[in-house]
A = this chain, B = another copy of it.
Amino acid sequence: MIKVYGMKISGNCYKVQLICELLKIEYEWIETDGRKNETKSPSFLLKNPNGRVPIIELENGNILRESNAILYYLAEGSIYFGKDKWEEAQILEWMFFEQYSHEPYIATNRWIIRFLNQKDEKKERIAENHTKGLHALQIMENHLAKNFWFACNRFTIADLALFAYTHKADQGDYNLSEFPSIRNWISRIQSIADFAPMED
């Protein structure tokens, strides 16, 4: 059985939980809380020198880091990844978009506001992130106004990766009522068989 080192309130970690549920992959969850510095302990840094969750540990002891690389590893060959190189590249395009243009603004503001309680101290950074986060949401909205899914006309790990923090964006003071196509897409994902909600 694989081990997942993760923090339940983290969207990046939830990605791993959700793909395991959807693909019925058995896993042992080892809660590793960044707020308690459990991701910076010497034993954890041996597993991931970058001090971040999620990571997975295979039965042979091999470690894989980076949420979207883990999604790739677990979903490759399943209906949630691509059928050919072009489909796969399009899925990865949205997953790199997620990590570069979305997560640093949407996840980070949720973290600062909801979990660090630093809404006043980090007012300027929050405002700067908010503008960039809105830009990412608008790109998603425009795409979803014309497409049910991000790639391949079906639910893939591109949707899963983007879903994780988008559906909790209100916790970072983003107002999703301005993005009706995103809201419909969120509902579509939540109605997939074997869907498991995020705990937070």
Binding site for B on A (CB under 8 A): 49-50, 62, 64-70, 72-73, 76-77, 85-86, 88-90, 92-93, 95-97, 99-101, 103-104, 139, 142-143
User: With a CB–CB cut-off of 8 A, which chain B residues contact A97?
Assistant: 50, 65-66
Closest residue of B by beta carbon distance from A56: B89
Contacts of A86 in B (CB 8 A): 62, 73
B93 engages A96 (CB within 8 Å): no
Q: Does the CB pair B89–A69 fall under 8 Å?
A: yes
Taking the closest CB of chain B, its distance from the CB of A131, in whole angstroms, is 14
Is the pair B76, A88 in contact by a Cβ cutoff of 8 Å?
Answer: yes
Is the beta-carbon distance between A70 and B89 smaller than 8 angstroms? Answer: yes
Q: A85-B77, A88-B72, A100-B100 are in contact. Are A64 and B93 (CB under 8 A)?
A: yes
> CA of A138 to CA of B62 in the docked complex: distance in angstroms?
22
Contact B101 A104 (CB under 8 A): no
Contacts of A96 in B (CB 8 A): 66-69, 96, 99
In the complex, the count of this chain's copies comes to: 2
Q: Chain B contacts of A76 at CB under 8 A?
A: 85, 88-89
A66 proximity list for chain B (CB < 8 A): 92-93, 96-97, 100
Nearest CB on B from A197, distance (A):
25
Complex Cα spacing A139 to B49, Å: 7
Q: How far is the CA of A58 from the CA of B54 in the complex (A)?
A: 35
Instruction: Tell me which residues across on chain B come within 8 A of A104, comparing CB atoms.
Output: 100, 104
Q: Which residue of B lies closest to A77 (CB)?
A: B85
Residues of B within 8 A of A90 (CB): 64, 69
